[in-house]
Amino acid sequence: MKNGLIAIVMGGALGVFASPVSAKTTIDIYGTYTDSVTNVSGTVASGPKVSTSNKYESPTISLSGGLKNTKYFNVDNLKMKGAAGYAAGDTNGLLFTVDPASCLTSGCKTYGTETADINAKFAFYSSTGVELGTLSDMAIATFNYYSNSSKDDDNLCWQNSDVSGVDLNGLKVVSEKLVGTCGLPGSGPPTAYEQIKVDLAGTYYNVNLYDWNDWDEQPKISFQMVPEPDSLALLAASLLGLGLIVARQRRTKAQLI
């Protein structure tokens, strides 16, 4: 009987590792994404914009070297509980580059600060082409313009409050959010990032969106496959049961001595 219990417990524990994702979906998950710039605004050195001549220019998004708009990328090259990795086809992990406007005003004679919302939206699919869910987030980009170019700085910070995502049935796919604190503009490569845990038909991923704190923003992205909550609970229960059995065997042996 004891051997049978041990076999059941071990079987449950091994099953967690042998089946890293739910049988109801596939490991192969693909995605596409689109982006946009909205809510461009700012101030000039002499104060807020007062005429159409002080028209603020939208920053531009460059996809060179990063994920391509509307093109499929693949995240199935990840290992369970492994280090976060880049999507297949995105070897340097670059999401996009945000270039500031050539100048703050139409005449390029005034300096000041400009802000803009950078919107990113992802759509995830199974290998059979079925859409598993969407994910969207927004980052605020801030550009500071000075007459002394050595003082140019900016930053891009992903906003935790703007994370959203649903599946085809309208159910939430975002199960957890972890947001860091942005560094000061011009402080160099970022250390902060926003981590979003998504449930794609039973397969769980961390989507890591990294901030940026330097001129010409280059935010990165990485993905990480993580264990399912049910699998973690099963593993914990299996290990607990195994521990109880071992403890019982030790007590029995102690009584026989």
158 in Cβ contact with 194 (< 8 Å): yes
Mean pLDDT value of segment 211-239: 71
Q: Is 206 exposed, middle or buried (0-12, 13-18, 19+ CB in 10 A)?
A: middle
pLDDT of 92-115, one tens digit each?
889 999 988 877 776 666 678 888
Helix axes 2-18, 229-256, angle to 10 degrees: 150
Least confident of 29-33, 41-45, 71-75, 219-223: 41-45
DSSP state of 53: G
Nearest-angstrom CA–CA distance, 118 and 162: 11
147 in Cβ contact with 111 (< 8 Å): yes
What's the pLDDT at 123?
A: 94
- Tell me how crowded residue 141 is: count the other CB atoms within 10 A of its CB: 22
Q: Which residue is listed with tokens 């042998």?
A: 18
DSSP state of 220: B
Q: Per-domain residue ranges for the chain?
A: 1-20+230-257, 24-226
Nearest-angstrom CA–CA distance, 179 and 209: 9
Residue among 134, 129, 128 at smallest CA distance from 171: 134
204 — phi, psi (to 5°)?
Answer: -105, 135
Residue 232 pLDDT class (50, 70, 90 cuts): very low
What's the pLDDT at 136?
A: 93
pLDDT of 149-208, one tens digit each?
555 568 888 887 778 888 888 888 998 887 666 766 655 555 688 889 999 888 899 999
223 in Cβ contact with 205 (< 8 Å): yes
pLDDT above 70 covers a percentage of the chain that reads 63
- Element of type H or E holding 40: strand 29-44
Nearest-angstrom CA–CA distance, 233 and 249: 24
Q: Is 139 exposed, middle or buried (0-12, 13-18, 19+ CB in 10 A)?
A: buried
Nearest-angstrom CA–CA distance, 221 and 91: 11
What's the pLDDT at 8?
A: 31
pTM above 0.85, yes or no: no
Beta bridge mates, 177: 196
Give CA separation, 160 vs 21, 138, 145, 195, 209, in Å.
27, 8, 27, 9, 11
Q: Is the dihedral of CA 101, 105, 108, 111 positive or negative?
A: negative
